[in-house]
Every structure is written in structure tokens, then in C-alpha cells.
Amino acid sequence: MDKEIKTIGVLTSGGDAPGMNAAIRAVVREALHNKVKVKGIKRGYRGLLNEEIFDMKSQDVAGIIQLGGTILGTARCSEFRTEEGQAKGAEICRKHGIDGIVVIGGDGSYRGAQALARHGINTIGVPGTIDLDIACTDYTIGFDTAINTAMDAIDKVKDTSSSHERCSIIEVMGRHAGYIALWCGISTGAEDILIPEKYDYDEQKIVDHIINNRRIGKKHHMIVNAEGIGHSTSMAKRIEAATGVETRATILGYMQRGGSPTCTDRYYASIMGAYAADILVQGKSNRVVAFKNGAFVDYDIEEALAMTKEISEYEYQIAWNLR
């Protein structure tokens, strides 16, 4: 028979993302609604190993839905990648009476959750990352806020770029994934969008494009460059030398990870957090919550981690057609 779930834990892990607090709040309140106790675990798996564990009541998550970051804190913990670390984590859960844990984070955090499940602690993952790079889900908590923050910043840079008739390279986050760059590039009407999944590293094409646009009278040339390609500052110098057009680089960086979550992020985070608490309380384990084809669903972690997702060829082509 499935073990009875009396107490669950919640932690946030990996890079933070706006909306994580809304998810924490939903986990806590949905569990309490189901008459299950909740313990907060600070600083991800590192906090678990350090036993940074405390009781959470409904009022502990009051007034946080609109806050960026994560009230639990987050961390990266190499010890948790080891068999010993994982066994110790499971033992600490048992010591504190934690029957199951909701892990809010990305793919790496899911692997930690999978390890805990192997050691007998029920786990459910919730997708929290601004990068949208979790294959099993069409939505990840924080993406919407990040793209809106980046879009606003790009619009502003575009104003001054046009006034000075400059080329601007704006570097957005996404070390391995180009979703933020693609969405922001299309949404700001960027002249070039460089993403790790597609970029052919042929800078001459960009140079030719800038020169051609100057001939037809374009005043600015906006290049949205994903972090995964990077080197925006040196790229700006090379482009300026090759085109004679003043070129500036702006690296948006961590501002994209902060700030008050959008309504979309708060909504998805609330539903996904509550969904995770519900299935954990029902005795499910080693699963991740996802939003797929218009519905909230859950997958086995193994299956979820084996999935792949690609940038849509059609959407990428549209980005070129509209510039």
C-alpha cells in the first residue's frame, strides 16, 4: 500500500525565477487545505543537507505572490550529486518526518528529486526556470516575466539606437536555449536574432545585412543575441570595424531573473504548485508537473528527462521574414 502522506516539504533549487514564490504559496496552502503539514527547506538541496528546515503555516506565505526571487532561497549543491549526499538527504527527510517533497527548479533539480525518490522519499518536480528549456512542458515559471522585462529593455535601447543611428547588440539570457532571444527578437522587431540552436557563426551575413539596411534608410539595427552565443562586446567591435556603423553592446544579465512576476507567471505557478501538492498528497512520486497541449499534466521524471524539444522551424523562419 502507498505510504500515508502526513507532512510534505518544499524547496526551490537551481537558478531562481519570478513566480517561484507564487508556487511556494500554492504548495503550502493546497497541502494545508488537504490537512497535510508543510515544512519549508531553505537554500535548495544544500539547505536540506544542512537541515535548514522549518514549519510553514498559511501566514508564512502571506503577501509573497507578487514578489520576485524565492523566499526559501536557492542554491547549487555539488554534494547532492553524490550517492552519499542523496542518501543523507533522504535520511534527513525521515528524521524530520517529511514523507514527500515538492522541488521547484529546472532539469538539474529534477535529477536530484529522482535521486530522493530512489531513496524512498516521494518527490514531485515543478518547472521553474526563465529559460523555457524543459522539454516536457510548454511553459516554465518565470519565462513570461523574463521576456517582458527583456522586451521593455530592448524597446528602450532601440529608442536611443534610432536617435544615434547606431547598431545595438542586446544580449539576453539563455545559456543553452534561445527561447528568450527568439520571443524578444520577434516582439521588438529585431533585425537579427542569434540563438545557439540555429546560429551559423557567419558574421559576414550580419555585416551585409547592416550595410544593406543603411542603403534603404534604416536608422537602427537591433541584434538580439542569446547568452549561449555571447561575446556581444567583441562582436560589437568587429561589426563596427566592418560596417563603419557605430555599434554598442548591452548585456541585460540578471535583471531578467528578478522583478515582480507577471499575471501569467503567477497564474501558472499557482496552478502548478497546487497540482504538485495534490498529487504528492495522493501518494504519487517521481513525477513532474507540466503544461502540455493546453492542459496541466504530470510525467514520470525519467520520461520527462528523456524528452527533447526544438525551436519551431516555422516560428524561426517567421522571425527572418518579418525583419
Q: Stretches 77-85, 151-159, 202-210, 313-321: which one binds ligand ADP (CB under 6 A)?
A: 77-85
User: Which residues touch 98 (CB under 8 Å, ≥6 apart)?
Assistant: 7, 8, 9, 39, 53, 121
Min separation Cβ 90 and ligand ADP, Å: 12
The pairing of beta strand 221-226 with beta strand 192-194? parallel
Locate 211 and state its grid cell. Answer: 550595410
Q: Does 40 bind ligand ADP (CB under 6 A)?
A: no
**Which lies closer to ligand F6P via its Cβ, residue 99 or residue 227?**
227
Exposed / middle / buried, residue 234 (Cβ in 10 Å: 0-12, 13-18, 19+): exposed
Q: DSSP 3-state helix, strand, coil percentages of the chain (rounded to 5)?
A: 45, 20, 35
The yes-or-no answer on residue 138 being catalytic is no
Q: Does 77 bind ligand ADP (CB under 6 A)?
A: yes
**Which lies closer to ligand ADP via its Cβ, residue 172 or residue 301?**
301
Min separation Cβ 251 and ligand ADP, Å: 20
Binding string, residues 225-264; x marks residues near ligand F6P by CB under 6 A? --x-----------------------------x-------
Q: How far apart are CA 39 and CA 186, in angstroms?
A: 42
Map residue 97 onto helix, strand or coil: coil
- Among ligand F6P, ligand ADP, none, partner that 80 touches (CB below 5 to 8 angstroms by kind): ligand ADP
Min separation Cβ 162 and ligand ADP, Å: 37
**Which lies closer to ligand F6P via its Cβ, residue 74 or residue 213?**
74
Torsion of CA 253, 257, 258, 262, to 10 degrees: 130
Look at residues 128, 133, 135 and name the one whose alpha carbon lies nearest to residue 299: 135
Min separation Cβ 24 and ligand F6P, Å: 17
Among positions 125-154, residues that touch ligand F6P (CB under 6 A) are: 129-131
Q: Which amino acid is at 165?
A: E
Q: Stretches 48-56, 105-113, 248-256, 257-265: which one binds ligand ADP (CB under 6 A)?
A: 105-113
Q: How far apart are CA 255 and CA 15, in angstroms?
A: 13
Binding string, residues 119-138; x marks residues near ligand ADP by CB under 6 A? ----------x---------
Q: Stretches 110-118, 187-195, 257-265, 281-289: which one binds ligand ADP (CB under 6 A)?
A: 110-118
Q: How far apart are CA 121 and CA 279, in angstroms?
A: 14
Min separation Cβ 175 and ligand ADP, Å: 10
Q: Does 115 bind ligand ADP (CB under 6 A)?
A: yes
Look at residues 51, 112, 110, 50 and name the one whose alpha carbon lies nearest to residue 81: 112
Return the DSSP state at 58: G
Angle ∠(32,34,38) on CA atoms, nearest 5: 35
Q: Does 43 bind ligand F6P (CB under 6 A)?
A: no
Q: Provide the binding-site residues for ligand F6P, judged by CB under 6 A.
A: 15, 129-131, 173-175, 227, 257
Residues known to be catalytic: 131
